[in-house]
Structure 1
Amino acid sequence: MVSTIQNTDVKQKDADRAVVVAVTCRAVFESGADDGDDIYGGGVAFPLLQALQRVNERLLEESPAESLLFDVILITTDSQQQQQSSRITSSTRHYGLEVSRFCFSSQEDFTESLLKNNVQIFLTTDRDEVLLASQNGVLSALLDQQLALCPSEQLRVMISGDAVIRPDTDPMPGGQQAAQSFSAQLGQMRQKFGVLDSPLSIVLVTLHGGRESCGNALRTLRSRGVSVDEAYCLAGAPRGPILSVLRSHFLLCDGVSGLEE
């Protein structure tokens, strides 16, 4: 059974324009043992939500009527946390997190809540959930423990040139189409800020091929309205070391994606 609760503490986003991002509650808050405190501690994805919110704040500073904003949903499949739904809402309010809706579901049918809420990207620390969501056509990314070290003042999104930048096919695979759509929305947001002091940074990484491969990926992204702030060509080198230095919040691919191999 799926239950969705609207957060009346925040202004709801424009459903036709907003970029819906769903994050698992267990990644945002540390549940732990019930110590009687009404507030959860911050989890590994806490800086991510702050960074998403910072982008929204800056967009509205640029234009108060802006409707292309991140619309954040918390997804809860943990039975213990579901029994403490008031603690989740209290924690969100305590930290000033701009969460539009809270979705409660079982592990088996959480993808139903993603589809019902038109989620454009689903972020979780559970690899099985990434696989299941991807198989149901929802663009997903795997979050890891390094996320806790990522900045909260700037959203850093890494795009895998090898996976996303491919010649268009007919029909286009669902994962590729979703990744292209999401990256295009990020590109629109990024265009609203200058070169310096942007709350959104887009990083391109090509794992294979040489400079030509990276150049092709850059040109393809630009043709879709996506300008990147940084580009790296690994040419087959292990990606782990550079990922730890770049500290991106998540890696965008066309299927199962994450910050680890």
Structure 2
Amino acid sequence: MVSTVQNTDVKQKDSDHAVVVAVASRAVFEPGAGGGDGVYAEGVAFPLLQALQKVNERLLEENSAESLLFDIVLITTDSQQQQQSSQLISSTKHYGLEVSRFCFSTEEDFSESLLKNNVQLFLSTDRNEVSQTSQKGVLSALLDEYTASCPSEQLRVLLCGDAVIRPDTNPTPASRQAAQSFSARLGKMRQRFGMSDSPLSITLMTSCGGRDSCGGALQTLRSLGISADEAYCLAGAPQGPILSVLRPHFLLSDGFSGLED
């Protein structure tokens, strides 16, 4: 059973042009934790939602009629939060998060709920959820505790380009199509802003290969209209040090793996 509640306090996005991002509610709010005034405490994905919202605000500042916006959906299979749906909704309003819809489902109907809401990117701290939705062709990324320390004023997306170098790691056709669509629309959003002071940053990282491989990955991105703000060729070096500096909100490995046809 899937139940979707529309947030009447938020202007709904244009369904034909918006980029629908679903975030697991347990990642946004600490389950069972109270932040005072009957609201949930902030979770690891809280800065992520603020960053998504910042991109929308800046896009509307540039053009009040802009329709290419992030459409944020909170989704939960947590029985406790389902039972306390009013607290979940009031917590979102309390913190000023512009969530368009709240989706409640069982674990069995979880993937169906994403498809019904036309979700283009799903984010969760649950590895099993991410794996399950990826198999259904929904582009998904895993959040971790480092997301909580990411900036809220700029959305930082990291694209992993290794599958362009190793095409045998390409995902299923459904995942590839979802990755291409999301990446291209993200690139269009980035084009709305100048080189400096952008609320959206796109970074390319290749773990294997040398400069030529990284250059080829950059060209592949540009063919889809995506200009990376930065590019890093690790050439086999560990990812940890550079990730600690970049502090991306999420890393899209599938988001880049399907770009080579």
User: What TM bracket, shorter-length normalisation?
Assistant: over 0.9
Partner in structure 1 of residue 20 of structure 2: 20
Partner in structure 1 of residue 86 of structure 2: 86
Partner in structure 1 of residue 118 of structure 2: 118
Cα drift, residue 32 of structure 1:
2.8
Residues 65 and 91 of structure 1: CA distance in aligned 2, closer, same or farther (over 3 Å): same
Partner in structure 1 of residue 221 of structure 2: 221
Residues 71 and 238 of structure 1: CA distance in aligned 2, closer, same or farther (over 3 Å): same
CA contact (8 A) 1:23 1:124 kept: yes
Answer yes or no: is 1:189 the counterpart of 2:223: no
Residues 35 and 56 of structure 1: CA distance in aligned 2, closer, same or farther (over 3 Å): closer
Query: Secondary structure in 2 aligned to 1:118?
Result: coil
Give aligned-pair identity as a percent. Answer: 76
Q: Mean alpha-carbon deviation: is it higher for 156-165 or for 223-232?
A: 156-165
Answer yes or no: is 1:39 the counterpart of 2:36: no
CA contact (8 A) 2:211 2:233 kept: yes
Partner in structure 1 of residue 135 of structure 2: 135
Q: Deviations over 1:186-230 (max 9, x none)?
A: 110000100010000000001110000000001111111000101
Residues 36 and 50 of structure 1: CA distance in aligned 2, closer, same or farther (over 3 Å): closer
Aligned-partner Cα distance in 2 for 1:36–1:152: 22
Cα drift, residue 37 of structure 1:
4.4
Aligned-partner Cα distance in 1 for 2:33–2:19: 34
Cα drift, residue 180 of structure 1:
1.4
Partner in structure 2 of residue 63 of structure 1: 63
Residues 81 and 200 of structure 1: CA distance in aligned 2, closer, same or farther (over 3 Å): same
Instruction: Output the aligned Cα RMSD.
Output: 2.0
CA contact (8 A) 1:138 1:178 kept: yes
Unpaired runs of at least 5, structure 1: none
Residues 165 and 153 of structure 1: CA distance in aligned 2, closer, same or farther (over 3 Å): farther
Partner in structure 1 of residue 210 of structure 2: 210
After superposition, residues 107-186 of structure 1 pair within 5 angstroms as: 107-163=107-163, 173-186=173-186
CA contact (8 A) 1:178 1:254 kept: no
Aligned-partner Cα distance in 2 for 1:49–1:35: 17
Aligned-partner Cα distance in 2 for 1:189–1:35: 34
Residues 151 and 36 of structure 1: CA distance in aligned 2, closer, same or farther (over 3 Å): closer
Q: Which amino acid letter does the alignment assign opposite residue 195 of structure 1?
A: M
Q: Mean alpha-carbon deviation: is it higher for 231-240 or for 142-151?
A: 231-240
Partner in structure 1 of residue 230 of structure 2: 230
Q: Which amino acid letter does the alignment assign opposite residue 227 of structure 1?
A: S
Residues 60 and 34 of structure 1: CA distance in aligned 2, closer, same or farther (over 3 Å): closer
Query: Secondary structure in 1 aligned to 2:32?
Result: coil
Q: Which amino acid letter does the alignment assign opposite residue 222 of structure 1?
A: R
Q: Which amino acid letter does the alignment assign opposite residue 110 of structure 1?
A: F
TM-score (norm 2): 0.93
Aligned-partner Cα distance in 2 for 1:183–1:6: 27
Q: Deviations over 1:2-55 (max 9, x none)?
A: 100000010000000000000000000112356984211110000000000000
Query: Secondary structure in 1 aligned to 2:97?
Result: coil
Partner in structure 2 of residue 101 of structure 1: 101
Count of aligned pairs: 254
